[in-house]
Structure 1
Amino acid sequence: MTTYERITHHLQVRRSDHTTIHYTASGPADGPVLVLVHGWACRREDFDAVTAHLPAHLRVLAVDLAEHGASRSTRDVWTMTEFARDVAAVLEAEAADTAVVAGHSLGGAVAVEVGRLLPGTVTHVVALDSLVYLSLFPAQSSEQTEAMVRLFRDDFPGAVRGLVEAGSPAGFDPALKEAYFTKMAAVRQPAGVRAIEGLVRWDMDAALRDTRQPVTVFAVRDLTAPEAIERYGDRLDIVLVDLGSHHFPVEAPEATAGLLAGVMSGSRSVRKP
């Protein structure tokens, strides 16, 4: 796939007195819109190399969620729905009539919620190694939720390292794991812990029941449990990929761009019955 010299505009939208969302926009203003949403404790720059490999006719919006990257917020609500409102504000500012929303990790949950918020605008939801981790995405019991949140409150670095390890196939590059850990452990607080709490309290099954758009999941083969495919295979179009770790959009940007371009071209636009 060709790499394009894209002119990138750094923009922002103010949702209210307590939240300012920064994002980048590239490609023609009248092109088909693809929104890229990063994962927990990550940032929009994770998609820079992916964007460079996307077809030049696409309008690509890469969003920093509240208290990630350049975005700032002093709000008290850190749910997936509230993060989705960050993305919805960008789509409103861009006057987008239709859009495909793709999210990595926690961003996949956010993408589903954007689809629920904007059913007339979002035509397809894409999850990049997201939605198939059964210990994170389906709603957990109150006891499980409290245990997870307590782990992050009591030993935040240890909890982050556990996430990185869980997202790394056997034999994965230790230096890359350390780089991911360093970046994610530096997430601003209280948003870091509160966002994890919002994720484990998220009712994914209810959200998917209300989501009318097709949902495609590109999941790392070595990290995807058969139980997840059995549970969600009739609702999600789960495509197993061999592109690296949980952070494969960073490790394999050209291949990731090819997957997203395929969705944009309509090759994966039909929801399974």
Structure 2
Amino acid sequence: MSRTLTAVSADGSPVHVEVHGPEGAPAVVLAHGWTCSTEFWAAQVRELAADHRVVVYDQRGHGRTAAAAVGTDVLADDLEAVLASVLAPGEKAVLAGHSMGGMTLMAASGRAAFAEHAAAVLLCSTGSSRLIAESLVLPMRAGRLRTRITRLILGARAPLGPVTPLSKRILKYATMGPGSAPERVAECARIVHACPRKSRVAWAHVLGELDLDAGVRELRVPAVVVAGTADRLTPIVLARRLAAELPLCVELVELAGMGHMTPVEAPEVVTAKIRELVGAYVKAKSGVESGVESVAKSGAKEEAA
């Protein structure tokens, strides 16, 4: 069972939303990353929709959502609108974000709708700050020169053009692990090349100046961090920093040899972690302490100690 709807964001902009799976099933909300779209979560939708209500939506300027504005506040506004449009008052869901989608969760962590609806989060291949400085896309020594050139490359206004063997090789080098299957590289290339140039450039500038460290500290729900050890865009150091700074991080999953596109490169792992979070924090029986309460109490005991 699938349906589409339009959420209306704070500035009146329409946001394209899709809901897959049976009504009344535990809810999962998936936020995609920079230059991607709802199609990026195809594997998770396919596997989870049999017994979950899986919500995917297009971020501003991506897929079928127009870009009237950009910025981290816009990411948070749009997520709030999506949550309000698909979840009942007080209904909890697992929220998962890849790359810019993970940053969306950080940006929204202090919002009322996030507190109302987020039971737990999965953060895939993401970071809260220093994205350009830590990027390993360029095989150079870290420093001002590498940062400056990386910023120019990621924010380049040149069109990506059609998907070709060369463009797939470039995309694989920059965003995927060396052992990525050709069909998964082709899938990512098709999605990324479909992103409008204007939106790609506009969001590149936002990500280049990103600082959501405060949002990480406000993300007070159980969190799992997933990252590839071969990620050049958001290197593993960013994931380890997130895991250390999140108030309730329950697990850091490091995927050996995987790159930035973890939901596509390692769909079984990402899907399994979403299922685990739903089972632990959304399906708690009435009268039984929920996973959120259990983790929060554990954290409180550790602080007291």
Q: TM-score, normalised by structure 1?
A: 0.79
Q: How far is the alpha carbon of 1:23 from its aligned partner?
A: 1.4
Matched, 1:129 2:125: yes
Q: How far is the alpha carbon of 1:261 from its aligned partner?
A: 0.2
CA distance in 2, matches of 1:248, 1:230: 16
Q: How does 1:133-172 map onto structure 2 within 5 Å?
A: 135-136=131-132, 148-151=150-153, 152-153=155-156, 155=158, 157=160, 164-172=172-180
Find the partner of 1:116 among 101, 110, 125.
110
Comparing 22-31 with 126-135, which one deviates more in the overlay?
Answer: 126-135
Q: How does 1:187-198 map onto structure 2 within 5 Å?
A: 187-198=195-206
Instruction: Answer whether contact 1:131 1:217 (CA < 8 A) is retained.
Output: no
Instruction: Answer whether contact 1:115 1:213 (CA < 8 A) is retained.
Output: no
Comparing 203-212 with 126-135, which one deviates more in the overlay?
Answer: 126-135
Q: One-letter code of the match for 1:196?
A: A
How many equivalent pairs are there? 263
CA distance in 2, matches of 1:18, 1:161: 40
Structure 1 residues 229 and 193, CA gap change in structure 2 (3 angstroms): closer
Comparing 248-257 with 61-70, which one deviates more in the overlay?
Answer: 248-257
CA distance in 2, matches of 1:11, 1:81: 22
Percent identity (aligned): 25
Report the equivalent of 2:140: none
CA distance in 2, matches of 1:177, 1:84: 30
Find the partner of 2:75 among 74, 83, 100.
83
Instruction: Answer whether contact 2:128 2:210 (CA < 8 A) is retained.
Output: no
Structure 1 residues 43 and 129, CA gap change in structure 2 (3 angstroms): same
Report the equivalent of 1:258: 272
Q: One-letter code of the match for 2:16?
A: H
Partner SS, residue 266 of structure 1? helix
Q: How far is the alpha carbon of 1:41 from its aligned partner?
A: 0.8
Q: CA RMSD in A?
A: 3.6
Instruction: Answer whether contact 1:10 1:23 (CA < 8 A) is retained.
Output: yes
Gaps of 5+ in 1: 1-6
Partner SS, residue 72 of structure 1? coil
Instruction: Answer whether contact 1:53 1:257 (CA < 8 A) is retained.
Output: yes
Matched, 1:248 2:258: no
Report the equivalent of 1:107: 101
Report the equivalent of 1:45: 39
CA distance in 2, matches of 1:28, 1:35: 14
More helix by share: 2
Instruction: Answer whether contact 2:168 2:186 (CA < 8 A) is retained.
Output: no
CA distance in 1, matches of 2:268, 2:239: 26
Deviations 1:220-254 (A, max 9, x none): 13438564465344224421134843223224434
Gaps of 5+ in 2: 135-142, 162-166, 282-290
Report the equivalent of 1:207: 215
Q: One-letter code of the match for 1:193?
A: V
